[in-house]
Each structure stands twice: as structure tokens, then as C-alpha cells.
Amino acid sequence: MADIQATANKIVENVENVMVGKRQAVQLTVLGLLCQGHILIEDVPGVGKTVLAKSLSKSVGCKFQRIQFTPDMLPSDVTGVSVFNQQTREFEFRPGPIHAQIVLVDEINRATPKTQSALLEAMEERQVTVDGHTYPLDVPFMVLATQNPIEYEGTFPLPEAQLDRFMLRIRLGYPGKEEEIEVLDRQQHQHPVNTLQQVVGVDELRAAQEAVKDIYVDQLVKEYIINIVRQTREHPDVYLGSSSRGALAIYRLGQARAALLGRDYVLPDDVKSLAGSALGHRIIVGPAARIKDIEPEQIVLDIVDQTAVPGAQVGRQRVRA
């Protein structure tokens, strides 16, 4: 357990050399990495979305690729293409940028749905199929996608099936006044990401990813997770609730958070702290709630507040999830 905690903390602290005042977002990103999940970073331009992805890849020594999505991109621009070699008289596969270990998909909602769908197989099955041939992707493999939630002109909203494949959705937000001054000081001569050093090897990272799966999750905590997810399907303000993939995301992330905090077991507090980021993008708010500007994350937090915590005492009776 100490090995997982040490590995995770080394990554977090190293990324924080670049990302100022964003410890929670950095920790969530590292949790996603430990769970071998994908992350959607949704925020306005200029708050460090791309820098976060670069810092993470440099910290763990993974092969990094950046894909700038545009409306004229084709699926083959992502997955790769077969090219005919006139000398050998055979087709040769030229891998696309998805063939890396940490892939930054910048402005994912600017590409057409056809190009966006090129990511589905890669994200879910860690492979791509081109011209009938299947090519496995590198291990570890993680997609960090960004999108601007403010500007909608010339964009294509992500379908529910693709949103569901992101383990987390995080927002960075603007830095505080003192933090923004520190950003200016750090970039006086050059960007700190240019001098960032690797602190964890790929083998060490893979060992931590496998060890996280052994963190103990009690039956009551499992029922607590399921109760929260099921209530997203029954809430009056929700048109479409979370799938079982959302429950699995909280389960895995809870294991990783417990390890990050030095525990070998998951607590209900782990579930509470992760529910908003793990489920908010998986539910569709109903028309009446949209008119009232009710955010999905707020609905999830309300559900968490109303769900009985396993093991809590109410009078003389112990609450069971």
C-alpha cells in the first residue's frame, strides 16, 4: 500500500511544479491514471488543460501525443492508415497519433461525430481496427480530452455513449490572485513544463495500477455506490441516469483514492468525494431542470446528501445501505 501511495504522491507533487493551486484537479487526474481510465477536462481556454496533460506524461515517462481536433479531420487521421508500398507490393500500416500511452485530444467537440467515434474502440478496448486488421494500443493507455463549455459555434456535442467512456470529468477553473502572480513568476524565463523531470517509470506505474485493484471494498460500500447510481435514474430532474459504468468508475476511483491516502480499504467518504466528478457527465438533465439552470453535478451531490451512509447511527439503529 505504501508503494502505491508513494508512487501517486511523487506524480502529484511533480505535476504541481507546473500546475499552481490545482491540487484537487491534479489528484483526480492521477486517480484516473491509476485506474487506467480516461478524463474529460472541461473548461475555458488558458487555464492549463494542455499543460496538465503534458506534465502528467513527462512525470511518468510515457509516450505522449497531441491531437488537435478540427471539423475537417477524418477517422484515419486519428487511428492511422494503410498505405500501398510499391516496392513490396503490399499495404503497410502507418500508425496514427492514437498509438501512444497518454493522448491529449484537444477540443474534442470540434470534430465531426464520425471522427469522434474513432476514439470509442480505442478508449473501451485499447485497440483500433483499420481495414479489417486490429492493432493493440500501448500499455498504459489514457485519453485526456478537452473541450470549451462556453463556445458552441462550430462544435459537435459528444454523444452519451462517448461521454460514458470517460471515467471522470474535471474542471480547473481560474487561479486565485496570489496563484496567478506565482504563475507569472514561474514563467518569467521559460515554461516550467519544459524542465519537468520524470519521477516514475512506466513499470512502476503499471505495478501501482495492478496493486490498486486489491484495495478492499466492503459489501456495504458497494451497496452505497449502487444506491447512489440507481437514484440518478429515479431523480425527477433527470431524463437519463447513469449506467453501470458509472458505478464501476466510483468503485475503481474509490480504491485509488484510498491508496493515495494510505489506506487499504475504501470508506463512504471516498465515494462522496468522487461521485460528482464520476457521475455528473453521465446523466442528462430533464427539460424543466435545464430551464432552471440546474447542473448535473449539483443533482448528484443532492443525491449523495440524501442517501443513507452505511454504518451510520440513527438513534439506536444502524443504517444499512
**83-122 pLDDT, tens per residue?**
888 888 888 889 999 999 999 999 999 999 888 888 888 9
pTM over 0.75: yes
pLDDT at 97: 94
SS3 155: coil
Pairwise CA distance, residues 34 & 318, whole Å: 34
Helix and strand counts by DSSP (H, E) for the chain: 14, 13
pLDDT at 270: 96
pLDDT at 101: 94
pLDDT digits (tens, 9 = 90+) for 3-21: 899 999 999 999 999 988 8
Residues 6+ apart with CB under 8 A from 153: none
Sign of CA dihedral 36, 275, 52, 264: negative
pLDDT at 225: 96
pLDDT under 50: residue ranges of the chain? 313-319, 321
For 274, left (φ over 0), alpha (ψ -120 to 50), or beta? alpha
pLDDT at 316: 43
pLDDT at 321: 46
SS3 304: helix
